[in-house]
Amino acid sequence: MTVIGTGYLGATHAVCMAVLGFEVLGVDVDPAKVELLASGRVPFYEPGLPEKLQDALASGRLRFTTSFDEAAAFGDVHFVCVGTPQQPGSHAADLRYVDAAFTELARRIDRKTLLIGKSTVPVGTAARLAQLVRSVSPLGDELELAWNPEFLREGFAVEDTLHPDRLVFGVDSEWAERQLRVAFRPLLDEGTPLVVADTATAELVKVAANSFLATKISYINAMAEVCEATGADVNLLATALAYDDRIGGRFLKPGLGFGGGCLPKDIRAFRARAEELGVGQAVRFLDEVDQINQRRRSRTVDLVRELAGGSLQGARIAALGAAFKPNSDDVRDAPALDVARMLYLEGARVVVYDPEANANAHRVYPDLDYVGTLAEAVMDADVVVLLTEWDEFRRADPRDLGALVSGRRIVDGRHALDASRYRAAGWEYRALGRPAEAATAQLVENDKDSVAHA
Ligand code: UDX
């Protein structure tokens, strides 16, 4: 099989398929990326993936190339995993890379093979692409296309690919379904649930899932706004809600909200596509979901300003975290970096430390100061703000940090710290949706683990 596009999704898919025993050719238009991967290095931070890449290369079953000619000659099935970012100046998805990958491949295909899209696309894309590829391929109408959405989470990419919670095949024929069953036999043999659907449904599964997750996060963050107006505590509220199995605690963690390369752009692209289809009203609530999420960022800035004494001008702020979530170096639409930028624009001197994402963050916002350790970040800080809940920050001892800062003031943007420990060590502790002096001790023991670690 071939895997076209070796970014997050594609590199992980290519490596995992080789680990599962298939002969895999990874294809990318970027020679630098191909060279890195071929030499056993992963161009992004993903726990466990470098080891698996090296195993796969050593097995001789995984190679990389920039050549579409080679890809077309090699593959019986082709997985297209290229990116679908948000279009500049619009909410819609930018499909130019998807279109290019399918066209380049199809042009060279002269024997019966299956083209499989894995990228997240607006519903209806597979049907359009099926026509496109048939019009350019020497194989003509015999060329088939299927859609197989991917649900992997950054930070758990290998685990999610090797042991997914479900597989979805969007197919137009039994032949296509058979090809996909062969390609995923090891996972199907393990009992992974499979949903076989038409291509439109398969495309929708992905955006519907991400929209639901985004909505769940914004729901609890909307409750945080109400808590702020009433003196209630959103952490206790979320814990109590999570005991209801129908609600569940996962993705119900309040705080700074969602970011990354998927959730924000997917809900916007879904809105844009629904408008095109004349059903914009059905998912208009996603605008609210987006806005609630954005408001968490400005509200975090408000809290930091408040702790800084009403103005950020000249304040030294330690920003802990830049990645959109822990165990990732991805800063795409990262709430953490957005908050750091807003603090800087209000005149603060922002010192950023992220265990993995400093380099990526520096590329996007070179004006902020970046340091290589937690201690350097908090040194002489007027206010510390936790923006990404890395374990290193959770584990830090408030007394040790307290000895370094200029004032013991902390905003916990991720509800990741033990408020009572910080308060006991003399810190003024604030978190979104929690009262300034909270009755946090009331958090029941045995609280659902899933809430805390959603
Ligand atoms: C997401 C989907 O989970 C995955 O299935 C899909 O394939 C790609 O998009 P990912 O972008 O890796 O995965 O991140 P995810 O773990 O879903 O987190 C998204 C954002 O939501 C992060 O910024 C995280 O900090 C935030 N989040 C998550 C919350 O704010 N609260 C929560 O309770 C959970």
Q: State how far Cα 349 lies from the chain centre.
A: 28
Structure tokens at 145: 């296309």
- The helix-helix angle for 199-230 and 285-307 (nearest 10°) equals 40
Mean pLDDT by groups of 10 residues along the chain of 454 residues: 97 98 98 98 96 98 98 97 94 96 97 97 98 97 97 96 98 98 98 98 98 98 97 97 98 97 96 97 98 98 98 98 96 98 98 98 96 98 98 98 98 97 97 79 44 40
Q: Which residues contact 97 (CB under 8 A, 6 or more apart)?
A: 5, 82, 83, 84, 119
Q: Report pLDDT for 447.
A: 45
Rounded Cα–Cα distance for residues 385 and 301 (Å): 9
> CA 248 to CA 241: how far, in whole Å?
7
Rounded to whole angstroms, the Cα distance separating 150 from 121 reads: 11
The verdict on 312 and 244 lying in the same domain is: yes
Residues tagged active-site? 262
Whose CA is closest to 119, among 144, 136, 154, 94? 94
Is 202 inside any structural domain?
no
Q: Is the CB of 75 under 6 A from ligand 1?
A: no
Cβ of residue 264 lying under 6 Å from some atom of ligand 1: no
Which helix (H) or strand (E) element contains residue 62? strand 62-65
- Region of residue 124 (left: phi > 0; alpha: psi -120 to 50; beta: else): left
Whose Cα sits closest to atom 21 in ligand 1? Answer: 258
139 and 273 in one domain?
no
pLDDT of residue 452: 41
Q: Pick from 144, 176, 197: which residue ends a domain? A: 197
> Could you tell me the residue range of the domain that residue 376 belongs to?
209-447
Task: State whether residue 154 is helix, strand or coil.
Answer: coil
The answer, yes or no, to whether any atom of ligand 1 lies below 6 A from the CB of 432, is no
Give me the pLDDT at residue 438, please. 54
Can you tell me which atom of ligand 1 is nearest the CA of 414? 30
Q: What is the CATH number of the domain that holds 11?
A: 3.40.50.720
CA of 24 to the centre of ligand 1 (A): 29
pLDDT number for residue 437:
79
Same domain, yes or no: 138 and 248? no
Is 425 within the bounds of a domain?
Answer: yes
Both 285 and 310 in a single domain? yes
**Do residues 261 and 160 share a domain?**
no
The predicted model scores a pTM of 0.94
